[in-house]
């Protein structure tokens, strides 16, 4: 009987550990799919809304980030549990600027950092993005039925 107990207890403990690890892994999976927005302050002090449209398909992250000259595709996207990172390369007056985004998804928020170089010096700012509510689908307009033709006498 002691021998059976010695075998059952370690097996039960192992099974419990596997179940807990799987549950924790499921908790860590975040889906950043959606439109995220945050505000940046320009050099002149004017706030400007920025949006990122992110999508996860087959476990791969893709998307775009808005800018003054339109949307720019993200580069080097990574998604590991609830942690994500990507970069955005823009060009202005023949100069390339790279912003490196990294953050943690928690529900409808991403908190992290945006790193970049300014005048050759590394800089970073906090990144606090909020997921925008999904817009309701536009109602499908019905094509009006033609009016019946009046009866001919």
Q: Quote the CA–CA distance of 11 and 127 in Å, as a whole number.
A: 45
Task: Print pLDDT tens along the chain (153 aa).
Answer: 566 556 566 555 545 444 554 444 445 578 999 999 999 988 889 999 999 999 999 999 999 999 988 999 999 999 999 999 999 999 988 889 999 999 999 999 999 999 999 888 999 999 999 999 876 766 666 666 666 676 666
Looking at residue 152, what DSSP letter applies? P
- DSSP per position, 25-56: HHHH-----EEEEEEEE-TTS-EEEEEEEEEE
Question: What predicted TM-score, i.e. pTM, was given to this entire model?
Answer: 0.70
Q: Quote the CA–CA distance of 52 and 132 in Å, as a whole number.
A: 10
Q: Give residue 94's region: left, alpha or beta (phi > 0; psi -120 to 50).
A: left
Helices of type H across the chain: 2-28
Q: Quote the CA–CA distance of 33 and 52 in Å, as a whole number.
A: 10
Residues 27, 32, 34, 37: what is their CA dihedral angle, to the nearest 10 degrees? 120
């Amino acid at each position: 009987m002691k021998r059976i107990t010695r075998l059952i207890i370690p097996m039960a403990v192992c099974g419990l550990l596997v179940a807990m690890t799987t549950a924790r892994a499921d908790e860590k999976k975040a889906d950043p799919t959606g439109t995220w927005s945050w505000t940046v302050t320009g050099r002149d002090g004017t706030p400007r809304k920025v949006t990122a449209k992110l999508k996860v398909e087959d476990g791969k992250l893709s998307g775009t980030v808005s800018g003054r000259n339109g949307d720019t595709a993200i580069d080097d996207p990574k998604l590991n549990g609830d942690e994500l990172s990507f970069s955005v390369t823009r060009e202005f007056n023949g100069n390339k600027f790279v912003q490196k985004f990294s953050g943690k998804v928690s529900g409808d928020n991403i908190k992290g950092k945006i790193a970049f170089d300014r005048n050759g010096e590394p800089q970073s700012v906090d990144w606090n993005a909020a997921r925008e509510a999904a817009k309701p689908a536009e109602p499908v307009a019905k094509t009006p039925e033609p009016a019946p033709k009046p009866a001919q006498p």
